């Protein structure tokens, strides 16, 4: 009932910036929280940050707190963004957006109901 389409991944050098987009369609009125996750090669998928679909309040993993990553939304376009600055090689991963159909925010993968296809972000040294 919800479809998520990501874009914006690519190759960037350390210290650079990249903005990922995730466009939602379908029953978007049922979305309470949109989250970003990432999975590095051979590693577990980890939470990056999230945003409330209505209101726009955000929350982040400790590893990206301090302004490096910023999540925002464009309600008119049903799109959320992940702005990534000061990128590090350890940020290299497949990045996923996900939608949660419950009011409580969560950093748990199992709490999200719909997922995008993922987009590769590679940060070179």
Is the separation of the CB atoms in 82 and 74 below 8 Å?
Answer: no
pLDDT by 10-residue block (mean), the chain, 125 residues: 96 98 95 97 95 93 86 95 96 97 93 97 97
Q: Return the pLDDT at 99.
A: 97
Provide the β-strand partners of residue 71.
82
Q: Return the pLDDT at 73.
A: 96
Provide the β-strand partners of residue 37.
47, 96
Q: Helix or strand or coil: residue 68?
A: coil
Q: Return the pLDDT at 64.
A: 81
Distance between CA 6 and CA 27 in Å, rounded? 17
Tokens encoding 38: 């990432």
Residues contacting residue 110 through CB under 8 Å, at least 6 positions apart: none
Is the separation of the CB atoms in 3 and 24 below 8 Å?
Answer: yes
Q: Return the pLDDT at 12.
A: 98
Give 29's DSSP letter: G
Q: Return the pLDDT at 63.
A: 81
Q: Return the pLDDT at 67.
A: 84
């Amino acid at each position: 009932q919800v479809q998520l389409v990501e874009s914006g991944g690519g190759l960037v050098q350390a210290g650079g910036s990249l903005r990922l987009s995730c466009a939602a369609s379908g029953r978007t009125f049922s979305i309470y929280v949109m989250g970003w996750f990432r999975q590095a090669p051979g590693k577990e998928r980890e939470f990056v940050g999230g945003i409330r679909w209505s209101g726009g309040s955000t929350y982040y993993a400790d590893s990206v707190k301090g302004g490096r990553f910023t999540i925002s939304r464009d309600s008119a376009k049903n799109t959320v963004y992940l702005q990534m600055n000061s990128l590090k090689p350890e940020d290299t991963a497949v990045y996923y957006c996900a939608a949660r159909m419950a009011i409580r925010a969560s950093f748990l993968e199992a709490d999200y109901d719909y997922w995008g296809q993922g987009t590769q972000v590679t940060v070179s040294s």
